[in-house]
């Protein structure tokens, strides 16, 4: 089965298509990069990570942040299950970078076969 590819770009009268894993990766990225309340027709779409101050990420309960990321993904990406989310400061990887890196893992069904999913996202 083919899925619409993000970003939506109309070329030669058609929207680009992607495979299941790419579609899941794009949707999770969209969830993680969307602030709650910014989509008028779905105000609870997105992630509350954007409501935190950057400095709060050092002092915040890391388990709460991971649970928040997991809950947002569970709510809006139903094709993915057994989701785990971990994060680190992007400055840990590159000293001149601000923001977070989020690694999401889980499983999904492709037909009758269970597949592993893993993707990393740079936020901020």
For the segment 64-122, what is each residue's pLDDT rounded down to a tens digit?
A: 888 889 999 999 999 999 999 988 766 655 555 557 789 999 999 999 999 999 999 98
Average pLDDT for the chain: 85
**Model pLDDT, residue 71:** 94
For the segment 18-72, what is each residue's pLDDT rounded down to a tens digit?
A: 899 999 999 999 999 999 999 999 999 999 887 776 556 666 677 888 888 999 9
Q: Could you tell me the sign of the dihedral formed by the alpha carbons of 67, 48, 123, 30, in that order?
A: positive
For residue 31, the enclosing domain spans 3-123
Q: Look up the pTM and report it.
A: 0.83
The total domain count for the chain is: 1
**CATH number for the domain harbouring residue 54:** 3.10.450.40
Give the N- to C-terminal CA distance of the chain in Å, as an integer. Answer: 33
């Amino acid at each position: 089965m083919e899925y619409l590819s993000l970003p939506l770009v109309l070329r030669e009268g058609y929207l680009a298509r992607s495979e299941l894993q790419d579609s899941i990766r794009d949707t999770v990225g969209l969830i993680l990069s969307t602030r709650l309340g910014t989509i008028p027709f779905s105000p609870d779409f997105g992630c509350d990570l954007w409501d935190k101050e950057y400095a709060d990420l050092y002092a915040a309960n890391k388990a709460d942040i991971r649970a928040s990321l997991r809950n947002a993904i569970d709510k809006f990406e139903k094709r993915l299950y057994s989701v785990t989310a971990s994060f680190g400061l992007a400055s840990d990887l590159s000293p001149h970078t601000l923001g977070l890196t989020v690694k999401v893992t889980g499983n999904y069904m492709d037909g009758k076969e269970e597949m592993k999913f893993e993707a990393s996202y740079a936020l901020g």
